[in-house]
Chains A and B, each alone.
Chain A
C-alpha cells in the first residue's frame, strides 16, 4: 500500500465512523451542527497524529506487557494539551463540546490505531495513517453534523439556507441515532 492509499483509506473505504463504527460516542454527542462536528474531528485528529507519532518513535523501548497503559498515558497527555489550548483560545467551542473533550482519551479509534498500527509501523507511515484516519473521522462528523443541522434548523455552518420550520428532532438526541443509521447504510452502498 503506498502512502496515498494509506492516507485516503480513512475517508470512504475504512471510514472510522461509517464503516468501522469506532468513536461513536463523540460522533453522536457533538454533531448538533456541522461546525461542532468539524471542531471535534480536528481535535481528535491532532491527538491521533501526535500519539501515533510518539508511539511509533518509542515502540522499541516499551516493554510489551505495559504497552497499553503507556499508550493511554501518551494519549491522555495530548488530550490535556487540546483541552487547555481549546479552553484558552476557543472557549465557545469548548463549552459546546464539554465532556467529550476529556473523553477523547477513551475514544477506541485513537487507542486502536496506536495498538494496531503505530506500534508496528515506521514513523512516516504512522503519521500519514493518523492524519488520514483523523481527517476521515472529522469528515464523518462534519457530514453527520451537516445533515442534522440542515434537517433540524435549515442551516449549515450557521448560514441560513431556507426559512421556515424544520424537524427539530434531528438536532435532539433521536436525530443523531437515526441520521447515523442512514449514513451507515449509504456508506455500505458506496462501498459495494
Chain B
C-alpha cells in the first residue's frame, strides 16, 4: 500500500516538474518534439534510479557512520557526475542501440537538478532502499509524463498564431502554467 502512495504521490500529486520545479531546463529546452521527450525521459529514468541507489548506499554506509553529513552536496554531485560518465561508457560497449537512443541526452543529465533533487529527497524522507528505488522510478515516470504532455502541447502551439513577443518560450511557459493548474486537481488524493 505505501508503495502505491509513493507512486501516485510522485507522479500526480507532487509532480516533480509541475509542482516541485525540478528539471525545468530539459522540460523547457528539449520538449519541442515528442520523440526527443521520450529519449530524455528514458535517460532520466536510467540515471535517476541508479543515482538514487548509489547515493542512498553512500549516505547510509559512508556519510552517517563517519558523521560527515555536511559533505552530502559535494559527495552526491561527484557520484552523479562520475555515474553519468560511467553509464555512457558501459552503454556504448554493452548496448550500442540503447546508446544511440539515449547518448545525446546523457551529458545533459549531470546538470539536471531533478536527479540530485530526488537523491536528496529520498534520504530526507527516511526511505529504505526499496522505497527509494520506487520513489526514483515514480519520479522519473512523472518527469516523462510531464515532458510528453508538454511536447504534445508545444507541437500544436507551433501551428498557432501567437503574438510575436509571446512566440516560443513565453507562450510555452504560460501553457506549462495551465498544465500545472490541471495537475493541482490531484491535490489531496493521497
Binding site for B on A (CB under 8 A): 21-22, 24-26, 28-29, 68-69, 72-73, 76-77, 79-80, 83-84, 99, 102-103, 105-108, 111, 169, 172-178, 180-182, 184-185, 188-189
Residue contact A25 to B173, C-beta cutoff 8 Å: no
Could you tell me the distance between the alpha carbons of A103 and B120 in the complex, rounded to whole angstroms? Answer: 10
Interface size on B, residues (CB 8 A): 43
Closest 10 CB pairs of A and B: A181-B173, A177-B177, A29-B21, A178-B177, A181-B174, A76-B74, A185-B170, A174-B181, A24-B24, A174-B180
Binding site for A on B (CB under 8 A): 18-25, 28, 70-74, 76-78, 81-82, 110-113, 116-117, 120-121, 124, 165-166, 169-174, 176-178, 180-181, 183-184
> How far does the Cβ of B152 sit from chain A's closest Cβ, in whole Å?
17
Q: Which residues of A contact B21 (CB under 8 A)?
A: 25-26, 28-29, 173, 176
Q: Which residues of A contact B71 (CB under 8 A)?
A: 80
Could you tell me the distance between the alpha carbons of A105 and B73 in the complex, rounded to whole angstroms? Answer: 8
> How far does the Cβ of A70 sit from chain B's closest Cβ, in whole Å?
11
Residue contact A105 to B116, C-beta cutoff 8 Å: yes
> How far does the Cβ of B182 sit from chain A's closest Cβ, in whole Å?
9
> How far does the Cβ of B29 sit from chain A's closest Cβ, in whole Å?
8
Number of A-B contacts (CB under 8 A): 113
Could you tell me the distance between the alpha carbons of A169 and B187 in the complex, rounded to whole angstroms? Answer: 14
Residue contact B77 to A106, C-beta cutoff 8 Å: yes
Tell which of A29, A105, A111 touches B20, judged by Cβ atoms closer than 8 Å.
Answer: A29
> How far does the Cβ of B51 sit from chain A's closest Cβ, in whole Å?
12
Residue contact A175 to B177, C-beta cutoff 8 Å: yes
| Closest A residue by C-beta to B183 | A173
Q: With A103-B117, A173-B21 as given contacts, are A188 and B165 in contact (CB-CB < 8 Å)? A: yes
> How far does the Cβ of B150 sit from chain A's closest Cβ, in whole Å?
11
Residue contact A99 to B165, C-beta cutoff 8 Å: no
Residue contact B166 to A79, C-beta cutoff 8 Å: no
Tell which of B73, B111, B165, B181 touches A169, judged by Cβ atoms closer than 8 Å.
Answer: B181
> How far does the Cβ of B179 sit from chain A's closest Cβ, in whole Å?
8
Could you tell me the distance between the alpha carbons of A174 and B82 in the complex, rounded to whole angstroms? Answer: 35
| Closest B residue by C-beta to A184 | B170
Could you tell me the distance between the alpha carbons of A22 and B171 in the complex, rounded to whole angstroms? Answer: 17
Residue contact B169 to A184, C-beta cutoff 8 Å: yes
Could you tell me the distance between the alpha carbons of A21 and B30 in the complex, rounded to whole angstroms? Answer: 13
Q: Which residues of B contact A184 (CB under 8 A)?
A: 169-170, 173
> How far does the Cβ of B26 sit from chain A's closest Cβ, in whole Å?
10
Q: With A73-B78, A83-B73 as given contacts, are A189 and B165 in contact (CB-CB < 8 Å)? A: yes
Q: Which residues of B contact A25 (CB under 8 A)?
A: 21-25, 113
